[in-house]
Amino acid sequence: MKVIDSPGGGGPRGTGYIEVLDNTHVRVNVTNRDGEVTDKVLEFPQGVENVRVKNWPLQSAKDLSISLTPDGEDFMYTPRPRNGQFFVKFVGFGAEPGELPTIRWETKKDFEGKPWLPARLKTFALYEILNPGEVKGMQLLDTITYEFEWDENLEEFTIVGSKRKKYHEHVLRFLNVFGFDMQNDTFHYGNLVNVEVDGVEEEMPNVLVELEDMLKSEKRIAQVVVEDGWVQEETLQPGPYGVTEESLALLLQA
């Protein structure tokens, strides 16, 4: 399991659009927060119709948040819509290709200028959009700030309350929406990994891997609102009762 201080570096990123020019060429236009514009024509010799970014089929789309690779020749992540309300499913936690879910170690100072006590762990939950149209298959990012602590008396993990109440509330909301059973589900204490945190090596349970498998197996559908490219955490809620991905597709086609 990788522990990093901040998201890895990338290439141009910001708001923009994607335009399919022909069968092998795609224009990507990105404006960063400083107003600098990157306009690239990417080439896909295999044919644009054969290209998928994760589960999103490459196609023309507007009003997106876009991140390119350092060389600017490919997509770093799936583009995502900047605004809207969407049906989604949980597809995993953020990770490098072939790696286990990435933990981000949060030691920055809080709004009062004091360090977090205890320090926090963060990860990105990835939601795949199920709505039909140009955004179907794109992935949304939801920041999950969490603390799972092993309770020797209960012999199970407990969810630790956070000084910032909104973080704790969002962890509970996230777990509930995607099917974690607070009464019956727990994590097994095992799969420990040694990680370096603030220069000191610590032993840490590999909780995200097990949680990812549990939530994916539930196959829950959720609804969420996106503003300026980011999930609005307080809007995350369950989808229609009993709906499956297949029945949702039929419902949205009606």
Q: What are phi and psi of 89, to 5 degrees?
A: -130, 150
Residue 126 above 60 pLDDT? yes
Residue 7 above 50 pLDDT? no
pLDDT at 106: 59
DSSP classification of residue 59: -
pLDDT at 189: 57
pLDDT at 34: 92
For residues 126 and 165, the model is more confident at 126
Residue 117 above 50 pLDDT? no
Amino acid at 142: D
Q: From CA 217, how far away is CA 152, in angstroms rounded?
A: 28
Q: From CA 172, how far away is CA 118, in angstroms rounded?
A: 19
pLDDT at 39: 95
State mean pLDDT over 176-199: 75
Flag the least confident range among 75-79, 84-88, 177-181, 234-238. 75-79
pLDDT at 127: 97
The per-residue pLDDT for range 201-244, each reduced to its tens digit, is: 777 666 888 889 999 999 999 999 999 999 999 999 999 998 99
Q: From CA 80, how far away is CA 62, in angstroms rounded?
A: 10
Pull the structure tokens for residue 39.
């306009």
Flag the least confident range among 39-43, 47-51, 73-77. 73-77
Pull the structure tokens for residue 177.
């929406």
Q: Are 124 and 142 in contact (CB under 8 A)?
A: yes
The share of the chain scoring above pLDDT 70, in percent, equals 79
Residue 37 above 70 pLDDT? yes
State mean pLDDT over 96-113: 66
pLDDT at 133: 94
Residue 9 above 60 pLDDT? no
pLDDT at 3: 34
Beta-carbon contacts of 114 under 8 Å, excluding residues fewer than 6 positions away, are none
Q: From CA 102, how far away is CA 2, in angstroms rounded?
A: 5
Q: From CA 21, how far away is CA 133, in angstroms rounded?
A: 19
Q: From CA 39, how far away is CA 31, in angstroms rounded?
A: 9
Q: Structural domain boundaries of the chain?
A: 8-82, 83-254
3-state secondary structure 111-157: CCCCECCCCEEEEEEEEEECCCCCCCCCEEEEEEEECEEEECCCCEE
Pull the structure tokens for residue 137.
């298959």
pLDDT at 79: 95
Residue 60 above 90 pLDDT? yes
State mean pLDDT over 70-91: 93
Q: Are 228 and 247 in contact (CB under 8 A)?
A: no
